[in-house]
Structure 1
Amino acid sequence: MEKRSSTHAKKAAYEMATTNLLKDQSSSSTKKFLPWIIYALLPLALLRLYFYPLPFPQSAQNQFAQSSPITISSASSSKEKERVDENPCDYFNGKWVHDKLGPLYNGTTCGTIKEGQNCISHGRSELGYLYWRWKPKQCHLPRFEPEIFLQLVKNKHLAFVGDSMARNQLESLLCMLATTSTPNLTYRDGEENKFRRWHFPSHNANVSVYWSPFLVDGVEKSNSGPNYNKLYLDRVDEKWAGELDQIDMIVFSVGHWFLHPAVYFEGDSVLGCHYCSGLNHTEIGFYDVLRKALKTTLKTSFERRAAKNNGIDVLVTTFSPAHFEGDWDKAGACPKTKPYKEGEKQLGPMDVEMRKIEIEEVEIAKANAKKFSGFKLEALDVTKLSFLRPDGHPGPYMNPFPFANGVSEHVQNDCVHWCLPGPIDTWNEIFLQVMKKWEGQSSRTE
């Protein structure tokens, strides 16, 4: 305090002397003594700034912040990435929110959509289902970036293996990628194009689909044969597994076909059957069968690739619930035009159990795969976000212009598959985020 008082006193004395001097002296005298006055005031000005610093101008602060960004050391950045990987986004929990942007593509911009899922071209005029986005509770899900996806599969072969939901997801992906690069169909075989392959010349990438509704070896029921499927749970379907050494990334998607009547084998022995009245077999549920099929599939995939010292990236898309209001084969329909609100409707017991089995088997396989190098495995958890979208199915628009001649008494509905574009595009948005995470993990281990 004494030092500050002394400073003020000196300042006052100098100011008084200066005032009198300027009044009494002529202009010439002023010029003569002005330099000495400045020299006398300079120490006082410095003392004033020392004890009472001027505030930094806001514009200057902003300019400083822009020109001198804070840099994070590579060590800090690595730790941050590790924390992100330890706590990945839970895409299962979230809600659908309005989105003005809409989809990346429409029903006419890509020629890969199965006719029954091309809802717009079949006359669906209510298009509100196109303007929703999935918003996870814990993070932000970015819009799909076709160029980045293609860069991540450059010089690779990506395969979708499973039932018609695998094909539905594949066609969604191809339509989104086609907004950046046009694929060439290079292979086609089987009924309803069940085996197809596309090539992206821009990135030397191949994308294939393999029809295999059980993943394991099986004989599908037919009109001319028994009205039940046969599943061999201890061996995989060689229609896809025979080309496993040519695949770098694989997406498995099954579930709905396990609900059909079937007889189950392990080796040459019959384990039992599902919904097989008239056969002398033990009735068993399909949950354990799904678990065995997934276990065999994942174990075989890793072991075959490990035998050749070659890793593989594997994704398992979880069960996608149907939305029939009434029995699917008795005029059941899906007339909803908006998503369910959170808490409005709960997942059914079967949907919960199917998802639970798939998640658990992925985690078991992931733990077993740690003894191998170069293997990555994740569950693409889409069960809840799909369940909340009863409005996204083709419904009656699985057929062209179903009401062109008026409303008939019975119109068949598809409440299992998804319109393209539609909610299933979100599956591939999450797929891209998983691929980004895998790429980050690979770069840290190299």
Structure 2
Amino acid sequence: MAKDHHQPHSFTKKLLPWTLYTILPIAIFRCYFYPLQFPHSSTDELSLNTPIIITSSSSSSPSFTSSSLSKEGEIRADEPPCDYTNGNWVHDKIGPLYNGTTCGTIKEGQNCITHGRPDFDYLYWRWKPKECKLPRFDPNTFLELLRNKHLAFVGDSMARNQLESLLCILSTVSAPNLVYRNGEDNKFRKWNFASHNFNISVYWSPFLVDGVEKSNTGPNYNKLYLDRIDEKWGADLDRIDMTVLSVGHWFLHPAVYFDGDSVLGCHACDGLNHTEIGFYDALRKALKTTLKTMTERRGSSDKVLDMFVTTFSPAHFEGEWDKAGACSKTKPYKEGEKVLEGMDAEMRNLEVEEVDLAKENAKQFKGMRLETLDVTKLSLMRPDGHPGPYMYPNPFANGIKERVQNDCVHWCLPGPVDTWNQILLEIIKRWEGQSRKRE
């Protein structure tokens, strides 16, 4: 009996090593020639004319619950809102949220990497608020919070800059399908994320209110009707759940301002017999009209409308923009090195004031939420984040030129503008937490 009991145990000891020796080469062969398929960090470049088929592997995302969020990104309704304006840029080894060379939605002039920008340090900074945390953007969380909704970016090229940043971030987990485009330079576009039935649009409306842009063949000034919104986006308002408004830079151009058929005045309108009233008053009136109209049109509806106003984004030209002005700095400003003042401060302040007034008006309606996306100061401190001469491909390929046009207004993608969307997500998460608390 003792001998019979010992034989199976001895046989097992001899068999086990031989089994491992047999299986291990097979496993190595399998992994080498047929590697495991991990989720891609970004989509391949998208063709505007080719529909995108979203497979189950690209469209799947974890179900969203309050417990599924990481501790850092947790929704906390009881905490006071974070002051994201008070902070500084700190070096971050992790790097950008997406790969600009494989994101197919970036406007060519903002794709600094493919245009040959030689330095990459501008990609390794993150905004650190002094009184709270700003978690890294979680695209799955964003898509789940906006499941079955329509988000619209409305305004000028800064609205487009922010939209394309968000599209690139979200594309790392789910492929967007371009379902509509129209207008010169595709100024009106709409994408659908089939994984979450989420729509995202951009509407070109550089004044928010109705206006006629100056042209080479017509008057050299804009015509703005400050008493009514631009219906190119306003007509779709009943089909939009969330808006991000962004205007400012176009108000610096010469313009004549109207209230109905009556001329209110003008800005920089030499040769016209109109009263100079300045662009600050015009911007204030345009914002007031826009927010009031949005509130009144949607206030009687049971459908929630969330509204954001992205504050003025400063330019960083060293010299005049049209006289060889450039932005050559390669690092952010340190705290105290650059002060928010002058026109940048005035534009930001009036936008914040108008949002605060609109909040009071919106309190009478249950389905209205409104917030300022205050990015002026953090953007002011990033003179290194613009395309500069790399708004064109390889501007110094044939040597250093005497004069090269620079873009010191828009932002490289990836770049500082990605932080705007990080803050956007945190505000949406806070709103979601407050809604759950009421339930």
Q: TM-score per shorter chain, which class?
A: 0.7 to 0.9
| TM-score for the superposition, normalised by structure 2 | 0.82
Letter matched to residue 371 of structure 2: E
Task: Give the distance between the partners of 1:424 and 1:387, measured in 2 at CA.
Answer: 11
* C-alpha distance in 2 between matches for 1:82 and 1:157: 24
Superposed displacement of residue 93, structure 1: 1.0
Provide the secondary structure at the position in 2 that maps to 1:436: helix
Aligned to 2:394: 401
> What letter matches 2:163 in structure 1?
L
**Map of 1:91-102 to 2, 5 A cutoff?**
91-102=84-95
Partner residue, 1:387: 380
In structure 2, what is the Cα distance between the partners aligned to 1:81 and 1:167? 30
1:111-155 CA deviation, whole Å, 9 max, x = no partner?
000000000000001010000000011111000000000001100
Cα distance in 1 for residues equivalent to 2:430 and 2:225? 35
Which one of 304, 314, 317 corresponds to residue 311 of structure 1?
304
Match of 2:361 in 1: 368
The structure in which a higher percent of residues are helix is: 1
Please give the secondary structure, in 1, of the residue aligned with 2:363. Answer: helix
- Alpha-carbon RMSD across the aligned residues, in angstroms, is 1.0
Residue 290 of structure 1: aligned partner: 283
In the alignment, the residues of structure 2 paired with residue 222 and residue 361 of structure 1 have an alpha-carbon distance, to the nearest angstrom, of 30
CA distance in 2, matches of 1:259, 1:293: 14
Shift of residue 272, structure 1, vs aligned partner = 0.3
CA separation in 2, counterparts of 1:250 and 1:294? 14
What amino acid maps onto 1:172 in structure 2? S
For 1:203 and 1:150, the matched residues in 2 are separated by: 7
Match of 1:257 among 250, 255, 263: 250
Once the two structures are TM-superposed, the CA of residue 81 in structure 1 deviates from its matched residue by: 5.0
**One of 412, 420, 432 as aligned partner of 1:419:** 412
Measure, in 2, the Cα distance between the counterparts of 1:255 and 1:82.
Answer: 32
* Aligned AA (1:302): T
Q: Which amino acid aligns with 1:258?
A: F
Match of 1:279 among 267, 272, 276: 272
Deviation (angstroms), 1:383:
0.2
For 1:160 and 1:444, the matched residues in 2 are separated by 29
Corresponding position of 2:175: 182
Q: Is the 8 A contact 2:318 2:326 kept in 1?
A: yes
Of the structure 1 ranges 222-231 and 101-110, higher mean CA displacement relative to structure 2 is found in 101-110
Residue 319 of structure 2: SS of its match in structure 1?
Answer: coil
Residue 311 of structure 1: how far off its partner (Å): 2.5
Check if 1:327 corresponds to 2:337. Answer: no
Q: Which amino acid aligns with 1:221?
A: K
> 2:62: which partner in 1?
none
**% identical equivalent positions:** 75
2:202 to 191, 209, 223: 209
1:155 to 148, 156, 161: 148
Residue type of the alignment partner of 1:389:
R
Shift >2 Å, 4+ stretches: 80-83, 307-311
Alpha-carbon deviations, 1:185-236, whole Å to 9, x = none? Answer: 0000001110000000000000000000000000000000000000000000
Alpha-carbon distance between aligned partners in 1 of 2:155 and 2:77, rounded to the nearest angstrom = 33
Distance of 1:209 and 1:82 partners within structure 2: 30
Return the match for 2:108 from 106, 115, 127.
Answer: 115
Letter in 2 for 1:321: P
Provide structure 2 residue ranges, at least 5 long, that are not aligned to the other structure: 1-74
CA distance in 2, matches of 1:105, 1:306: 38
CA shift at 1:274, angstroms? 0.2
Letter in 1 for 2:98: Y
TM-score for the superposition, normalised by structure 1: 0.81
Count of equivalent residues? 365
Q: 302-311 or 172-181, which moves further after superposition?
A: 302-311
1:237 aligns with 2:264: no
How far apart are residue 249 of structure 1 and its match? 0.4
Q: CA deviation at 1:346?
A: 1.2
Task: Quote the Cα distance in structure 1 between the aligned partners of 2:354 and 2:438.
Answer: 26
Aligned to 1:38: none
Larger Rg: 1
Match of residue 98 from structure 2 = 105
Number of the residue aligned with 1:428: 421
d(CA) in 2 for partners of 1:353, 1:130 = 29
Q: Match of 2:214?
A: 221
Q: Which range moves more in the overlay, 419-428 or 100-109?
A: 100-109
CA distance in 1, matches of 2:283, 2:417: 23
Counterparts of 2:149 and 2:78 in 1: how far apart (Å)? 29
Query: 2: CA distance between counterparts of 1:233 and 1:162?
Result: 15
Aligned equivalents of 1:174 and 1:359: distance in 2? 26
Instruction: Return the offset for 1:302.
Output: 1.0
Q: Does the CA-based 8 Å contact 2:208-2:287 persist in structure 1?
A: yes
Do 2:189 and 2:203's aligned partners in 1 also have CA atoms closer than 8 Å? yes
Residues 77 and 434 in structure 2, CA contact (< 8 A), matched pair in contact too: no
- 1:159-185 Cα offsets, whole Å, 9 max, x none, are 000000000000000000000001000
CA distance in 2, matches of 1:342, 1:171: 29
Letter in 1 for 2:121: G
